[in-house]
Amino acid sequence: MITSLNICYHRREDLLSVVNQVVAYPPDQVLIQVFSGVLDLAVIRQLLTELRELLPGRAVIGTSTAGEIMSGEAVEGTILVNFSLFEQSRVRSALVTQNEDLAAAGYELAAALNQKHTKALIILGCGLKDKRTINGEPLLKALDASVNGAIIAGGQAGDNGKGERTFVFTEAGITEHGVAAASVAGEFLTANNTYNLSWVPIGKKLTITEAKGPRVYSIDGQSPYAIYAYYLGQEVADNLPLSAADFPLIIERDGMEMAIHATGVNEDGSFNYIHDFYPGEQLRFGFCHAGLLALGAQLVHSDLRKFNSQAVFVYSCVSRKWILGADIAVELSSLSELAPSAGFFSYGEYYQHANGRPYFFSQTMTVLSLTEGGKNSVDISIEDGYCPKVEESKQFRTMRVLHRLIDLSTREIESMNIDLAKLANRDFLTGLANRRHFDEILTRELKRHQRSQAPLSLIMIDVDHFKRFNDTYGHVSGDDCLRAVALVFRNVLQRPVDTVARYGGEEFCCVLPGTDYPGGMLVAEKICRAVEGLEIPHAESDVADRVTVSLGMVTLAAGKHATLEELLKACDRFLYQAKEQGRNMVVGGIFP
């Protein structure tokens, strides 16, 4: 059984009120979490001194905040101290004082925190570097790779929205450039992670057409600034990036929808985001209202009831507090009915499903719940018992109906666009020619070759280990990958006479009229290197750690004749050789 205690710290006497209860537990069975809306480091140093004196040997992790969460309520400017007392589980803490290399920080923390039966890692990272939000993904990936079976939770430090300086600390000290963390381990300990987004996509799908890491240069072929101004209006565009928090981009990765907002606007019209983007990824604008918030809160409540939670820790994005205002109470109030709750409003949330990879979220509420001993799971659904009910205004109900209307209308328009694309000889997913239209073009070019005697080259391209990519990252990411490859073709093939088509699944074909063998090989090599240069991760590929392609190229020289089937078969043989010789390469020849 876990005992969880919350106090607001003002002076030493506040700690004395719980000391007797805490010292009844062995030092390594106590975790102290501090969430401080007070940004005065002298105050934090005094608190740490008192904790070391009164409760020596106990693990402490703490963070500056953009608001505190105590017993289901949002508060500000306080120092919230939570004491988690475990009957059987063990606790360790660790502090890393650098975040220049987050992967290295993750490996260092993992070495310090790893215990037998580790079930949860609570990570508190500094939230800002050069006054911009830090992307915590490298830290999370390193931790996940090093500590098997543990759920990762937590968030990044805030500074009450000032965007200037954040800090984290343990009993060992304070840092403005590092990570504080704790592991909780026990044979009879169970950890559960859940989250509430409540932002939903709205409007048409948009495609990333040029991006490098977290910097996006174009969406649907236009600058992000132009896209925001067109769809959201000039008032929103003039107040970027702050106004972007109200309308984040919603993107699906690994079957999960994520909300991502801009963190910086550059003079060339490109935007910086917390997360990396890749060409070909599709996204939509998102919005949130209290009606959707209530539905999400009910699902979280039901999940925690099933888990039979004994201690609940909440890490919620400060954007939710700013945008939702008083309505934030909708999702917080019900948590304290299940178990004592504590947490803070952060500059990004760390989240991991059981047996899943970790994610760095924004604009999301994440909830870690812990249970020790006894039956850890009960069969409960929303219909089985109490779930929090929220009095909704007519406006909220109207907005929910309006969202349904817009969402269904958008789906119907997308379906009609697919039908129109087929009629227009286009592949709807990539915008390239479809197979039937390509066969028509190649047949016409073969006839022109016979008349003009100009060389004709054909390239066949196959995405390496694409089935593994789909199995690993999901079909949405698979579609994004194919769109990214299609964008490479558009960039490499500049001549109007060149044609590229999606020939089937992950296979593409290019016909290059008037192109000889050296020219065809040059184009094929450019495509091969450009796809690799996209740096789309592919962890299950035997070729590289990123998406690659294999290419076969055949040239029909002057004076030579071939049918469509013969030329395609010859090109396919060269493609097969490229795969057999190791993939991520071009193999070509002259017909026959």
Catalytic sites, residue numbers: 506
Tokens representing residue 532 in the block: 């690799």
Alpha carbon distance 132, 125 (integer Å): 14
- Residue 64 pairs with which residues in a beta bridge? 36
| 178: helix, strand or coil | coil
Instruction: Evaluate whether 273 touches 252 at the Cβ level (below 8 Å).
Output: no
Residue 310 C-alpha from the chain's centroid: 29
Alpha carbon distance 194, 296 (integer Å): 11
| 324: helix, strand or coil | helix
Q: To the nearest 10°, report the CA torsion of 401, 407, 411, 417.
A: 120
Instruction: Evaluate whether 314 touches 332 at the Cβ level (below 8 Å).
Output: yes
For every residue of 246-294, DSSP letters joined together read GS-EEEEETTEEEEE-EEEE-TTS-EEESS---TT-EEEEEE--HHHHH
Alpha carbon distance 357, 590 (integer Å): 47
Alpha carbon distance 431, 486 (integer Å): 8
**Cis peptide leading into residue 592 (ω within 30°):** yes
- Report the candidate in 270, 216, 262, 227 with the shortest Cα–Cα distance to residue 243: 262
Tokens representing residue 25 in the block: 């537990």
The identity of residue 513, as a single letter, is P
Tokens representing residue 392 in the block: 């909704």
Instruction: Evaluate whether 270 touches 224 at the Cβ level (below 8 Å).
Output: yes
**198 half-sphere exposure, CB direction, 13 A CA radius:** 31
